[in-house]
Amino acid sequence: DPLDLAVWPNSAIAESITVSGIGPGDLYIRVRDMSPGRDNHLRIDHVELVPVAAKPAASSAARPPPPTKPVGDAFLIGVYYAMPAIAKKDRFGWQYAFMDMARQGVNFVVVSGNKWAPQWAAVKNWGIRGITSYSRLHEYKEGWTEQDIARSIDLTDREFMQRLVYDEQDLRDQVLGHVFTDEPECKGLPEDQQAFMRAYAKAFHERFPDHDIYLNHCDPPWYDLGQKRDMCSVNATISVNSRRIVDRIAESRRLGQENMIFVALPGNLGQWIATDCNRIDGFGYGPCSPAVQAWLKSLSTFQHVYDAMVSAYACGARGFAVFQYGQAGSYAVALVDQDGRGKPDGRWAGFGAAARDLRRAQSWPGVELHRDGARLADGDRLAPGPVRLAAEAVSDSGRIAKVVFGVSVNGGVDFESIEDDDAPYEATFTLGPGADVIVRAQAVDTDGRRSIYSAAMVQVAGK
């Protein structure tokens, strides 16, 4: 487990450390957060491989207890996604977006804008769960009453929940809850507004006991507005390092929560803070010096996004979510361009690489979808009629039980599926003419663990 060293942030590691579970292949050590200003040092005296059956020698120095530790498979990997009905900037739809998120490892989405039962059916088919997002503070008015809040919840949340039925499927369990305000600590909330938000959270939880109010915070100290889940973005968005993660987990626990989800911008440290010594010192990479500035500028955006997610996981956060997936709203920090392609700086690629590495480190299997010996890509044109798909599946911890292939002609709302439990894994589907079709594959091992999807949106030629 290459993440083992990272769970003791800002403290010395013992004189020796034992990493278990190393199998065939390369052994590597990834060094993170090594700003010259932090006075961090790494020295490897020797590496000793010990058979699994043998007990390693006890360390001569006591290892300090970690303040936090990784949550394992429970780690949420997410994105923010806006689906506006008006002034849309993206040239692709939610059909493509949810597929693209799923194949990059996303299992958690924060959704704002128009969202109806078909979208949530697609979310479910990709193994994603989500929370809705729109501020409730715009409903605040002086002299508010609990009856005002009850009417608002019945007119919006209850009606929304009742509509979440598609083809007799009840999709309400795909909704984890609702973000009901964003970064209130940044500007501050008067006492009466705080009381309004607490009353709203209380009424929401009474009506929807299986759904949680989420609160996306600014820097600590945080408000307790009756939320059941904490998230944190501002400044954390710029700098995702061990100190900030552990401090924010501690703040969440002070409020009685178990953990928090870290929210980040997919930016570049060299662009965001390298030219400003106050930011370098404030975000924990100082003391500022030309060497520190040069180190920050040397990091690629791919590295920054990759290490942001790995840091959030290794230092114990409940999850990691990036703002924002698409161009809707003209966001410069979007992960993809207007056609859904990853930005040239590698921010979406770094996100996906980190997600796959984390899941493989957690013993998830892997899969890659092929046709005629080549990997399928978005926009590939296929002839109508029978098409045979193949998949390569691997597992580091056990055996592959099966590969599940799927085809959807309505954007992931419905799938036709075929399973193959014997290598080489193959499936044949018949495709009609003139359609945009999603094809996918997922590997399942004998312990029931499922891979991240391999998928593509292809075009079938017309008549």
| Host H or E run for residue 359 | helix 347-361
**Residues in the chain, how many?**
463
The SS3 assignment for 40 reads: coil
Tokens of 58: 């006890």
- 406: β partners: 417, 440
Domain residue extents for the chain:
72-361, 366-460
How many angstroms separate the Cα of 386 from the Cα of each of 228, 390, 428? 50, 13, 6
pTM above 0.75, yes or no: yes
Comparing C-alpha atoms, which of 252, 171, 254, 169 is closest to residue 215? 252
97: number of Cβ within 10 Å: 25
Q: 3-state SS string over 57-97? A: CCCCCCCCCCCCCCCHHHCEEEEEEEECCCCCCCCCCHHHH
Q: Which residues of the chain have pLDDT under 50?
A: 1-11, 58-60, 63
Helix axes 242-254, 301-314, angle to 10 degrees: 40
Token reading at 343: 């930005």
Q: How high is the pLDDT of residue 411?
A: 93
Give the position of tokens 């849309």. 88
Instruction: Show the DSSP H helices in 154-241 as ranges.
Output: 159-163, 184-187, 191-207
Radius of gyration of the chain (CA): 24
Cα–Cα distance for residue pair 453/275, rounded to 1 Å: 40
Which residue, 319, 363, 260, 240, is CA-closest to 77? 319
Residue 90 token pair:
């993206």
Q: Please state whether the peptide bond connecting residue 338 to the residue before it is cis, i.e. omega within 30 degrees of 0.
A: no
- DSSP tag of 434: S
Strand partners, 415: none
The 3-state secondary structure of 227-287, one letter per residue = CCEEEECCCCCCCCCHHHHHHHHHHHHHCCCCCEEEEECCCCHHHHCCCCHHHHHHCCCCC
CA angle 424, 428, 434 (to 5 degrees): 140
- Please give the torsion angle defined by the CA atoms of residues 101, 397, 399 and 375, in that order, rounded to the nearest 10 degrees: 40
What architecture (CATH level 2) is domain 366-460?
Answer: Sandwich (2.60)
Task: Confirm if 194 and 223 have CB atoms less than 8 A apart.
Answer: yes
Q: How far apart are CA 86 and CA 114, in angstroms?
A: 10
If DSSP codes are grouped into helix, strand and coil, which group holds residue 270?
A: helix
pLDDT in the model for residue 398: 72
Distance between CA 8 and CA 134 in Å, rounded?
37
Dihedral sign for Cα atoms in the order 133, 267, 330, 278: positive
Is 429:447 a contact under the CB 8 Å cutoff? no
CATH superfamily entry for domain 72-361: Glycosidases (3.20.20.80)
Q: How far apart are CA 358 and CA 353, in angstroms?
A: 9
CB 199 within 8 A of CB 207: no
Q: What is the pLDDT of residue 6?
A: 41
Residue 27 burial class via C-beta count within 10 angstroms: exposed 0-12, middle 13-18, buried 19 and up: exposed
